[in-house]
Amino acid sequence: MDNLDITPGVPQGENEVAIKKRNHKHSILFFVSMMVMAILASSLFGAFFGFVAGGFGQKIFTQISGRFPEIFKLDNGQSPTIKLDPIVSREKIVEEDSAVIDVVEKSTPAVVSIIISKDMPRIQSFSPFDFFNNPDFFSNSPDQNNQQDNSGGDSKKEKIGAGTGFIITADGMIVTNKHVVSDAAAEYTVLTNDGKEHVAKVLARDPINDIAVIKIDGADYPTLNFGDSDGLKIGQTAIAIGNSLGEFSNTVSKGIISGLGRNLTAGGRMGDSEKLTNIIQTDAAINPGNSGGPLLDIHGKVIGINVAIAQGAQNVGFAIPATQVRRITEQVKTTGKISMPYLGVRYIPVDKDLQKQINLQFNYGVMILRGQSVRDFAVIPGSPADKAGLVENDVILELNGTKIDEKNTLVDLLTKFNVGDEIILKVWHKGETKEVKLKLEERS
């Protein structure tokens, strides 16, 4: 038998070339198989660790979002996501604007313009806005609209001023400032929001506060309601509506309550002045012509009546608190007039200087003193003070337990009461303090 050279693992009958081809083919198949297995293993491990890591990360993220809710929010109470400040801010702005728009839409129909007219001498006059329409404004010859009118008579009815008011009863009762309707010789016309003109009658003028009530005929007018001005906070929203400059009716401006309890003396064009106490300061733009218009809160309630502005300043306006106005209007509704209670004393405030001069143990209150004229009695005969036994040099220290000082003047405290109310005064009399009870009567 012939000896045969047989290589292990190599089929008989194959030559060397065939063997090499077969080995090369097996190598390729092995490489491809290993690649497939590697990919499958990588996918499985990736999915597994991704699931574990995702659950762990979600758990940690949920814990963080719970501890910092101001940074993260939960969608449907489950999945925490980062808050988007621009969207939230935009939503907040839209919400605030919607509230203001809603107040304006509901309140404007009850706000009226008051036109003041009077018989005036026939003189050349022009509107301060004429130059926008008058090409000859800067020339030496005014246009025909500004020529003097000599067509008979020596006077004609002219508009001499304007103000604002707001309706408080469906039958046409309107609140405004006293200085808007102070001229007894003038005529007053109310222009309602629907463009109609109504002749107005002055029902009452407050002798102390800058408040007046007028009336127009009709029924079913839209009205505004008073809010609680005692609960105001500095920084809260304030909305003013008025007849700005007497030309632009129902002008709306928005701001905040800038200050409370302000005291100031306001002056008019005619040289008259009036002391305003415990009033509201706001930066909502108030202009001439806004006088008597409402200052509203974000709920559309009247919190004040716009009354004055600070000359030479920007957005420093003032309003009479609604609580003062409401008491006056209720009197007019029930009695048809404003009745002011009074004590019947002439006095000067007690301060530190007066305390030293007369050796008082108090630096507050008011001292009852006569005036320079013999008719300027310290205590008016027959007045409530006279009936209660008050005399000259007495010092009234408190009214119903409230100290009388710069923040709580005697006049301010009395305006909170009605005719017929009984009050208790704490009085310093000849070195001793005592309580005096008296009933307030109507100022004649």
Question: Taking the domains of the chain in order of start, what are their residue ranges?
Answer: 14-83, 229-335, 341-442
DSSP 350-394: --HHHHHHHT-S-SSSEEE---SSTT--SB-TTSHHHHTT--TT-
pLDDT reported for residue 110: 96
442 forms beta bridges with 341
Say how far apart CA 421 and CA 20 lie, in whole Å. 126
- DSSP single-letter state for residue 28: H
255 forms beta bridges with 238
- DSSP single-letter state for residue 109: G
Same fold, 229-335 and 341-442: no
Residue 334's H or E segment, with its range, is: helix 322-335
| pLDDT above 70 coverage of the chain, percent | 69
| pLDDT tens figures, 333-381 | 988 888 888 899 999 999 888 888 888 888 899 999 998 877 789 999 9
Q: What is the mean pLDDT of residues 402-413?
A: 88
CATH node for 229-335? 2.40.10.10
**Which residues are known catalytic residues?**
179, 210, 291
User: 138 is written with which tokens?
Assistant: 């800067």
Measured in residues, the chain has a length of: 444
Please give the backbone phi and psi of residue 217, each rounded to the nearest 5 degrees, phi first: -75, 150
pLDDT reported for residue 63: 57
Most confident residue range from 82-91, 96-105, 220-229: 220-229
Helix (H, G, I), strand (E, B) or coil at 72: strand
Fold assignment, 341-442: Pdz3 Domain (2.30.42)
Neighbouring C-beta atoms of residue 403, cutoff 10 Å: 14
| pLDDT tens figures, 302-331 | 999 999 888 777 889 999 999 989 989 998
Please tell me the pTM assigned to this model.
0.65
DSSP 255-298: EEEEEEEEEEEEE-TTS-EEEEEEEEEE-S---TT-TT-EEE-T
